Structure 1
Amino acid sequence: MGVTEIQSLAQFKEIINSDKPSVIDFWATWCGPCKMISPIFEKISATPAGEKIGFYKVDVDAQEEITQEVGVKAMPTFAFFKNGEKIDTVVGADPGKLQSTISKYDV
Structure 2
Amino acid sequence: MSATPITSVEQFHEVISGSQPALVAFWMVWNEPWRKMNPSFETMSKDAENSAVAFHTVEIGDHQDITEEAGITVIPTFMLYKDGVQIDGFQGAMPDNVKKLIQQGKEL
Q: TM-score, normalised by structure 1?
A: 0.95
Structure 2 unmatched ranges of 5 or more:
none
Which residues in structure 2 correspond to 1:60-75 (within 5 Å)?
60-75=60-75
CA RMSD of aligned residues (A): 1.0
Aligned structure 1 segments of 4 or more residues deviating by more than 6 angstroms: none
In structure 2, C-alpha distance between the alignment counterparts of 1:30 and 1:41, rounded to whole Å: 16
Structure 1 unmatched ranges of 5 or more:
none
Cα deviation, residue 11, structure 1: 0.6
Which residues in structure 2 correspond to 1:18-97 (within 5 Å)?
18-97=18-97
Are the counterparts in 2 of residues 2 and 50 from structure 1 also a CA contact under 8 Å?
no
The alignment-based identity, stated in percent, is 32
Query: Structure 2 counterpart of 1:17, which letter?
Result: S
SS of match in other structure, 1:100? helix
Query: Structure 2 counterpart of 1:59, which letter?
Result: E
1:62-106 deviations in Å (ceiling 9; x for gaps) = 000000000001000001100001111021001111112211212
SS of match in other structure, 1:106? helix
Q: TM-score, normalised by structure 2?
A: 0.94
Count of aligned pairs between the two proteins:
107
